[in-house]
Amino acid sequence: MTQHRTVDVGGSHLYRITIGPGLLDDGALLAATLRGDAFVVSDDAVAPLYLQRVLDALSAARPGLRIGHWTMPAGEGSKTLATFGQAIDAIASAGMRRDATVYALGGGVVGDLAGFAAAAWMRGVDCVQLPTTLLAMVDSSVGGKTAVDLPQGKNLVGAFHPPRAVLADTAALRTLPARELRAGLAEVVKYGAIVDAPFLDWLEANADALLAGDDAALAEAIARSCAHKAAIVERDPYEHGDRALLNFGHTFGHAIETSQGYGGLIHGEAVAVGMVQAALLSERLGLSSAADTARLRGLLRRFGLPVEPPPGLDPDTLLAHMRLDKKAQSGGLRFIVWDGAGRARVLAGVPESEVRAVLAG
């Protein structure tokens, strides 16, 4: 029998993250928190691979269950208010009631949009996250942040809506394009960078296995990442404090994504570049050493990730996006900086001149 790993998220919203191969076919687990109807949201790359299996497994576990489903175009460009409106239309047309559960089957884009639809439909119905990318398994499916992007900035419209359960079927990673696997590794590196220096040693030692899609290495990386995310979210579900550490590299990264109109670097890649820029900023501020930055850069490079911003981005535009990023507050630019591996913190009032110097390379 295959052993599944579990990580429990405590605090005011308790739920379990289950990690292991074959979970998308496990009707009993899929339906464990289900109270009424089911509605599965996916995208047009994931649905042909996994949607029917989830529908079959749910129907087998709950004969007579009313199940609706809806599929959106794949990619960050779909994470819009317009697509959100279409999702709500589909949920309404399917007659989903207050005790319905929305299942988010896909990567972080589906998870964020379907989670937001679940938060908004009838002022909130249950959501179960079924992440199919590494990035979604280690980050976006956990913690209840849901949102869509605006042309002005990423994730600017959304809600906190914790899932009732997260089922990460690691076998789904076998169909994930290599570029997407690498992007997920950026968020895995983030946990080492912010709170777990020994995890960086482990990632360096296991880089080849992770890149080769080794099941055991990936399961370990996912479980360890989820344990960190669960601990942080449990302490600070609404990001009044520590949770902001999870945004290491994101102020720079989001500005790149927005400047590129959500059609250039994918999220994990932008975060990889952003983490190096955050390390360079920390170095400029005298908080960390050039060796710290070099180590981070080296690991991200080993994972095939970009470590420098794409050419041609305008620093003024990037700074304008940073000012509107949710990490910014009225008191000026706020960044997640580090004092070296595993020691990140929030720093407010960072002078724009220092940020400009980093952007200027």
Give me the active site residues, please: 123, 145, 187, 229, 239, 243, 247, 250, 254, 267
Token pair of 265, please?
Answer: 């670097």
Residue type, 151: P
**Residue number, 58 or 246, with CB nearest to ligand NAD:** 246
User: Looking only at residues 184 through 243 of this chain, which bind ligand GLY when binding is defined by CB under 6 A?
Assistant: 243
Q: How many Å apart are CA 65 and CA 231, to the nearest integer? A: 35
Q: State both tokens at 296.
A: 């981070």
Angle, vertex CA 212, rays to CA 209 and CA 218, nearest 5: 60
Q: Which of residues 45-104 bind ligand NAD (CB under 6 A)?
A: 45-46, 49, 74-76, 79
Lay out the site mask for ligand GLY across 246-265 (x = CB under 6 A, - = otherwise): xx------------------
268 binds ligand NAD (CB under 6 A): yes
Q: Does residue 274 touch ligand NAD according to CB under 6 A?
A: no
To the nearest whole angstrom, how small is the minimum distance from the Cβ of residue 187 to ligand NAD?
A: 6
Q: Hey, what amino acid is at 176? A: L
Q: Which is nearer to ligand GLY, 246 or 318 (CB)?
A: 246
109 binds ligand NAD (CB under 6 A): yes
Cα 336 from Cα 327, distance rounded (Å): 9
The answer to whether residue 112 forms part of the interface with ligand NAD (CB under 6 A) is: yes
Question: What CA–CA distance (Å, rounded) separates 77 from 117?
Answer: 17
Which residue's CB is nearer to ligand NAD, number 253 or number 340? 253
Can you give the length of the chain in residues? 361
Q: Among residues 90, 166, 172, 186, which is the contact residue for ligand NAD, using CB under 6 A?
A: 172
CB-wise, 20 or 107, nearer to ligand NAD?
A: 107
Of 300, 111, 342, 341, whose CA–CA distance to 210 is shortest?
300
Phi, psi of 157, rounded to the nearest 5 degrees = -120, 120
Beta carbon nearer to ligand NAD, 37 or 228: 228
243 binds, among ligand GLY, ligand NAD, none (CB under 5 to 8 A by kind): ligand GLY
Q: How far is the CB of 175 from ligand GLY (least distance, A)?
A: 24
Q: What is the DSSP string of 136-155?
A: IIIIITSS-EEEEEETTEEE
Tell me the two tokens of residue 344: 């990140």
170-208 burial, b at 16+ Cβ within 10 Å, e below that, comes to bbbbeebeeebbbbbbbbbbbbbbbbbeebbebbeebbe
Choose, by CB under 6 A, the member of 71, 101, 129, 133 that binds ligand NAD.
133
Binding mask 136-155 for ligand GLY (x = CB under 6 A): ---x---x-x----------
Q: Which of 40, 54, 71, 143 binds ligand NAD (CB under 6 A)?
A: 143
Pairing of β 335-338 and β 344-347: antiparallel
How far is 41 from 121, CA to CA, in rounded Å? 13
158 - beta bridge partners?
147
Could you say which of 29, 37, 96, 108 contacts ligand NAD (CB under 6 A)?
108
Q: Kindly tell me which of 246 and 275 has the beta carbon lying closer to ligand GLY.
A: 246
Identify residue 273 by its one-letter amino acid code: V
Which residues are CB-contacts of 354 (< 8 A; sequence separation ≥ 6)?
Answer: 281, 284, 285
List residues binding ligand GLY (CB under 6 A): 139, 143, 145, 243, 246-247
Binding residues for ligand NAD, per CB under 6 A? 43, 45-46, 49, 74-76, 79, 106-110, 112, 132-133, 135-136, 139-140, 143, 145, 154-155, 172, 175-176, 180, 183, 267-268
